[in-house]
């Protein structure tokens, strides 16, 4: 799966799950989920579950850091890296 497809899926998931798609809003790919208040700690759990189930990866405890999970761009990069190392 290429990076564009990963980003597309992650973006769709975020918009549908946390923005409610019918609001017609989007989120910038570099926008921080935490700083914008879009996702809280429960939401991060939800996101991790989605990533593990959708991309068949395991998010290790030490990988649960903002650098990997706090924007669409960061999530895309993180997932790409995990898939490449499989």
Partner 1 sequence: MSTKKISPEVLDIDCEKTVAEIESSIRLATRKLRRKGAVLGISGGVDSSVCAALCVRALGAKRVLSIMMPEGESAASKESVELATILAESQGLTTIKEDITEALRGTGCYARRDAAIREVLPEYGEGWRSKIVLPSVIDSDKFRIFSLVAVAPDGTEHRKRMSLSAYLGVVAATNFKQRVRKMIEYYHADRLNYAVVGTPNLLEYDQGFFVKNGDGAADFKPIAHLYKTQVYQLADYLGVPKEITSQPPTTDTYSLPQSQEEFYFSLPYDKMDLCLWARNNEVSAGDLAGCLELETEQVERVYRDIDSKRRTTAYQHMPPILFNENQ
CA distances from 70 to 22, 58, 60, 86 (A): 23, 17, 16, 23
- Contact between 10 and partner 1 (CB under 8 A)? no
Site string for partner 1, 27-46 (x = CB under 8 A): -------x--x--xxx-xxx
Query: Quick one: tokens of 40?
Result: 């809280």
- Residues 55 to 84: which contact partner 1 by CB under 8 A? 61-62, 64-67, 69
How far is residue 68's CA from residue 76's CA, in Å, rounded to a whole number?
A: 9
Binding site for partner 1 (CB under 8 A): 34, 37, 40-42, 44-46, 48-49, 61-62, 64-67, 69
């Amino acid at each position: 799966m290429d990076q564009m497809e990963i980003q597309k899926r992650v973006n769709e998931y975020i918009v549908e799950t946390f923005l409610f798609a019918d609001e017609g809003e989007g989120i910038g790919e570099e926008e921080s989920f935490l700083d914008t208040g879009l996702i809280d700690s429960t939401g991060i759990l939800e996101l991790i579950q989605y990533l593990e189930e959708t991309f068949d990866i395991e998010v290790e405890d030490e990988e649960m850091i903002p650098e990997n999970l706090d924007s669409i761009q960061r999530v895309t990069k993180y997932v790409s890296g995990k898939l490449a190392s499989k």
